[in-house]
Amino acid sequence: MDSISGLLLGFSTALQGGNILFCIIGVSAGMLVGILPGLGPVTAIALLLPVTFRMEAIPAIIMLAGIYYGSMYGGTITSVLINVPGEAASVVTCIDGHAMAKKGRAGTALGVAAIGSFIGGTATVIGLSLLGPPLAKLALGFGPQEFFAIMFLGMTMIMGLIGKSLIRGMLSAALGLTLAMIGMDPMSGALRFTFGEPNLMDGLDFVVIAMGLFGISEVLLGYETINAEKRVERISKLLPERDEWRPTMGAIGRGTFLGFLLGLIPGANAVIASVLSYSIEKKVAKDPSRFGKGAIEGVAGPETANNAFAGSAMIPLFTLGIPTSPTVAILFGAFIMHGLTPGPALFNENPTLVWAIIASMYIGNAVLLVFNLPMARLWAKIAFIPERILYPIIVAIAVVGAYSTSGSLWQVGAMLVAGVVGYFFKKVDIPLAPLLLTFVLGKLMENTFIQSMIYFGGNVLGFFARPISGTILILAFIVLGFSIVSAWKGRRRSLGSDTEV
C-alpha cells in the first residue's frame, strides 16, 4: 500500500466519531500535562495506560500518541508565563520566552511557539507518511540477528547520550535488564528471580513499573518544592511584527530539520533537540546578544525542534519496532498490551491501525494549533492549580490504575516500591531512561539473541558473518567506546578543575 492510499484509509478511520473524539481527548490531556509543572508526557502516558485496557487498539493508541505530542505544546505556556517549564523539553523556552513575557509580549511568544510547533509536528508526520512504508518494506528482510543488533545499538547510544555519568547510566541499564529477566525463561521454562513469589511468575508488569518510576517519584520530588505563589503575565497580541516573520520562519525551518534528524537516533530526546536548536539560532543570529533578553528565534527554534522530534521518533517505532526515547518506550508497551508488535510487519498486518494513527497526528496538530492560538488565555489559567491539590489526585489515579492491571494489591505495592526507587534514583542523579528502555527491550533482546544463537549453532561471531547485523554491531561498539572515552576525559577534566581549586 502506497502513502496516498494509506493516508486516505487512515483519514477515513481517524475521522470516525469515536476515534476523532479520543484524538481530541489525547491532545487536550497532553496540553494539560504539559502545562502542569513537573509531570511531562512520560508520567502522563504511564498514568493513563490502565485507562486503555478495555479500549480498542486504534482509539487507545491515538489517544496516547496525542498525549505525547500534545504535551510538547502545553509545556510552553508555563515556561513563557511563569518561568516554570511544564516539561523538560521546554526548559530552553524559559530563557527568551519569559523575557518576552516580561516585556509584555507573552502572547507573541506563545503564538510563535504554537505556529512553530504546528509546522514542525506536521512536517515530520509527512516524513513518517513518506518514509514509513519503504523503510518497513526494507526491514521485512531483517531476521532476529539484525533486530538484536539494532536493539544493541540503541542501548549503546542511550548510554552515551543520557545522564552525566556513564557508570550511573550503565547501572540503570543493568537494573532494567535484570528486571526484564524476572519470570519464566523463554527456552527452558525455569523460573528466574521470583524467590518463590507467585505474582512474579509472569514477570513485572510494565505499566505498574512505569507509573511508579515516573508518576509516584515525581510526586515525592514535587512535595519538596511546592510553589507557594505564581504570577502570570498578561497575554495580548499573538502574532509577530512584520520584520520578525523572516527570522522566525528561518528558525522554524532549522528547528524542523534538526528535530526530524534527532528523532531518528536511538537515545536522543526532545531536550537535546531544543538545546541544540537554541545553540544554532544563537550562532547564526546577526546579534547574538539579543538572546536571553527576548529573542523571538530563541522561542521559535527550540519549540519547533521538540515537536518535530516527537513526530520523527515514531518512525523507528513503526518501521523497526525500536523505541528511541522513554516516552516512545511506553507507547511501545501500549502496543504490546493491545496484542500488537511494532515493527515492519505492522504496515502489512495492521495497515488500518498504522495509517489511522498517522492520520490522527495530522488532525491532532491542527487541533492543537486552534487550542494554542485563540484559547491560550484559557489554558494559562490551569497553571494556577495548587500542587497540594494536584499531587493527591495523581497518586489516586496511579493506585487505581495499578490495581486495575490485575485486581491485586500486590501490583499497587510494586508500583509504590518502583516509585521510591525512582525517587532515590533522581535524588542521586541516576537516569531512569536507560532503566525503562532496557526493561522494555530486555525480553525482545533475549528472544532474538537466543534465536540467533540457535541459528548460528552457538557461535557469537555469526553476527559478524551477516553484513547488516555485523555492520550495526561494529557501529554499536564504536559508539560504546566513544562514550567510555568521553566519560573518562570528562572525569579527568573535572578532577583537574577540582585540583586547581
**In contact, 302 and 309? CB cutoff 8 Å:** no
Nearest 5 degrees, angle CA 52-CA 57-CA 62?
80
Domain total of the chain = 1
**Amino acid code (one letter) for 78:** T
- Burial (0-12, 13-18, 19+ Cβ within 10 Å), 484: middle
**In contact, 334 and 47? CB cutoff 8 Å:** no
Q: Which residue has the cell 519569559?
A: 98
Cell numbers linked to 186: 523463554
Domain that holds residue 152: 3-232+241-499
Residue by residue, DSSP assigns 461-483 as GGGGGSHHHHHHHHHHHHHHHHH
pLDDT at 487: 62
Kindly give, in sequence order, each residue whose CB lies less than 8 Å from that of residue 299, ignoring residues fewer than 6 positions away. Answer: 80, 93, 96, 97, 100, 109, 112, 113, 116
Q: Is residue 492 within a helix (H) or strand (E), and if so which, with residue range?
A: helix 467-500
pLDDT at 82: 62
Which residues does the chain have with pLDDT short of 70? 1-2, 36-40, 75, 78, 82-91, 136-141, 154-166, 206-207, 225-236, 265-269, 271-272, 324, 374, 376-377, 379-385, 401, 404-406, 433, 483-484, 486-501
Dihedral sign for Cα atoms in the order 69, 75, 80, 85: negative
- Please choose, from the candidates 61, 144, 151, the residue with its C-alpha nearest in 3D space to the C-alpha of residue 331: 61
Q: What is the pLDDT of residues 84-119, one digit of tens each?
A: 555 666 667 777 887 888 787 878 888 888 888 888
Q: What is the pLDDT of residues 203-237, one digit of tens each?
A: 887 667 877 887 788 788 877 766 555 555 556 67
Report the alpha-carbon distance of residue 491 to residue 169 in Å, rounded: 15
How many alpha carbons lie under 13 Å from residue 328 in its C-beta half-sphere? Answer: 28
With H, G, I as helix, E, B as strand and everything else as coil, classify residue 228.
coil
Report the alpha-carbon distance of residue 374 to residue 110 in Å, rounded: 11
- Please choose, from the candidates 59, 454, 437, the residue with its C-alpha nearest in 3D space to the C-alpha of residue 269: 437
**In contact, 26 and 64? CB cutoff 8 Å:** yes
